[in-house]
C-alpha cells in the first residue's frame, strides 16, 4: 500500500534531495512546498509587495486570488517544476534574493492558508512525499511517516553555498550562513505554524551521513510502515 510521507526541517538539510530520491524509488509524487512559498514571494517582489525593507502584507493578501501555482512534471529532471501564473519560474525562485525574502512572506497567515489548502488537495491520493516546515504538523498531521531533518547551520550553509556557486551565483559563504541563520530564526519564531518537530516524527541528523546511507535507512522505515 502507498502512504503519505511528510518531511520537515530547517533550510538546506537535504529535504528535497531525500524527497526526490524517495519519490523516484517508490513511484511517489514529490511536492516541494518551499517552491510554492518561493513562487508567491517572487510574485510579491514583481508587484512591489515585498523588498528588503518593506512588506505590504495586506496588499499581497488582497492579491492572492491572482496567483495560480502548479507543478509540471519534467521527465528529464524526474520532478515537477514550479509554474507561477503559467510561467516556469523554477530558476528564478532559487536565487539568494528570493531566499532572503521568502520567510517574511511565509509569515502571512493568508498566504499559508492558501498554500496549505492546495497542498492538502495535492495529497488527497496516497503515494505523496511532501517536504516543507509544517507538513507533519499542519498539512498532514495523519501522515504515516514523518521525518524531521536536522544538520548543523555550518554544514547546511556549506551545502547551499556549493549549490549556488555551481549555478554561477556570486555569493559568499558568510552571506549564505547569515541567510540560513535568519531563516532558522524566522521559521521557528513565527506565530502561525512555526517549524517544530511533530511528536511522532523521526529525527534524522545527516551532518555525518551520506546520501546513500540516509536513503537506505529511510527506505527501511517506509517498508516497515507499508508491509501491513
Ligand atoms: O524549503 P525551502 O528552503 O525552499 O523553503 C523556503 C522558505 O519557505 C522557508 O525558509 C520557509 O520560510 C518557507 N516555508 C514554509 N512552510 C513550508 C515550506 C517553506 O514556511 N511548508
Q: How confident is the model at residue 119 (pLDDT cuts 50, 70, 90)?
A: very high
Quick one: pLDDT at residue 228?
Answer: 64
CA 158 – CA 32 distance, rounded (Å): 21
CA 141 – CA 193 distance, rounded (Å): 12
Return the minimum-mean-pLDDT range out of 44-58, 113-127, 136-150, 183-197.
183-197
Q: Is the CB of 187 under 6 A from ligand 1?
A: yes
Q: Which residues contact 217 (CB under 8 A, 6 or more apart)?
A: 204, 209
Q: Is the CB of 13 under 6 A from ligand 1?
A: no
Do residues 145 and 221 lie in contact, with contact meaning Cβ atoms separated by under 8 Å? yes
Residue 26 Cα, ligand 1 centroid: separation in angstroms? Answer: 24
Q: Give DSSP secondary structure letters for 135-198.
A: IIIII-TT-SEEEEEE--HHHHHHHHHHHHHHTT----HHHHHHHHHHHHHHHHH-SSS-----
CA 32 – CA 132 distance, rounded (Å): 7
As a whole number, mean pLDDT of residues 2-26 equals 95
pTM, two decimals, is 0.94
Question: CA angle at residue 100 from 94 to 103, to 5 degrees?
Answer: 95
Quick one: pLDDT at residue 58?
Answer: 98
Residue 77 Cα, ligand 1 centroid: separation in angstroms? Answer: 21
Whether residue 169 is predicted with pLDDT greater than 90 in this model: the reply is no
Q: Classify 27 as helix, strand or coil.
A: coil
Q: Which atom of ligand 1 is nearest to the CA of 119?
A: 21
User: Helix 33-46 crosses helix 109-122 at what angle (to 10 degrees)?
Assistant: 140
CATH number for the domain including 23? 3.40.50.300
Quick one: pLDDT at residue 83?
Answer: 98
- Residue to substitute in 17, 39, 106 for testing ligand 1 pocket (most ligand atoms within 8 angstroms of CB): 106
Residue 37 Cα, ligand 1 centroid: separation in angstroms? Answer: 6
CA 174 – CA 154 distance, rounded (Å): 10
Q: How confident is the model at residue 227 (pLDDT cuts 50, 70, 90)?
A: confident
CA 146 – CA 130 distance, rounded (Å): 10
Q: Is the CB of 34 under 6 A from ligand 1?
A: yes
Work out the percent of the chain whose per-residue pLDDT is above 90. 87
Count: domains in the chain: 1
Question: CA angle at residue 161 from 83 to 14, to 5 degrees?
Answer: 65
Q: Which domain holds residue 45?
A: 4-226
Q: Looking at this predicted complex, what is its ipTM?
A: 0.98
What does the block give as the cell for 51?
Answer: 523588498
Q: Which has more pLDDT, 12 or 26?
A: 26
Work out the percent of the chain whose per-residue pLDDT is above 70. 100
Q: Which residues contact 84 (CB under 8 A, 6 or more apart)?
A: 39, 42, 43, 67, 68, 69
Amino acid at each position: 500500500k502507498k502512504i503519505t510521507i511528510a518531511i520537515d526541517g530547517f533550510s538546506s538539510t537535504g529535504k528535497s534531495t531525500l524527497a526526490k530520491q524517495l519519490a523516484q524509488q517508490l513511484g511517489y509524487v514529490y511536492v516541494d512546498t518551499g517552491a510554492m512559498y518561493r513562487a508567491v514571494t517572487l510574485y510579491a517582489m514583481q508587484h512591489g509587495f515585498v523588498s528588503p525593507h518593506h512588506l505590504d502584507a495586506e496588499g499581497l493578501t488582497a492579491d492572492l486570488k491572482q496567483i495560480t501555482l502548479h507543478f509540471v512534471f519534467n521527465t528529464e529532471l524526474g520532478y515537477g517544476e514550479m509554474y507561477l501564473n503559467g510561467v516556469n519560474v523554477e530558476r528564478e525562485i532559487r536565487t539568494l534574493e528570493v531566499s532572503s525574502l521568502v520567510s517574511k512572506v511565509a509569515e502571512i497567515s493568508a498566504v499559508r492558508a492558501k498554500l496549505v489548502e492546495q497542498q492538502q488537495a495535492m495529497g488527497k491520493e496516497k503515494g505523496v512525499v511532501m517536504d516543507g516546515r509544517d507538513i507533519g504538523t499542519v498539512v498532514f498531521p495523519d501522515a504515516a511517516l514523518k521525518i524531521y531533518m536536522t544538520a548543523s547551520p555550518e554544514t547546511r550553509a556549506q551545502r547551499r553555498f556549493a549549490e549556488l556557486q555551481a549555478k554561477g551565483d556570486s555569493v559568499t559563504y558568510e552571506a549564505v550562513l547569515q541567510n540560513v541563520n535568519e531563516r532558522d530564526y524566522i521559521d521557528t519564531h513565527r506565530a502561525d505554524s512555526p517549524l517544530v518537530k511533530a511528536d511522532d516524527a523521526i529525527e534524522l541528523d545527516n551532518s555525518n551521513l551520506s546520501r546513500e546511507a540516509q536513503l537506505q535507512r529511510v527506505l527501511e522505515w517506509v517498508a516497515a510502515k507499508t508491509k501491513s
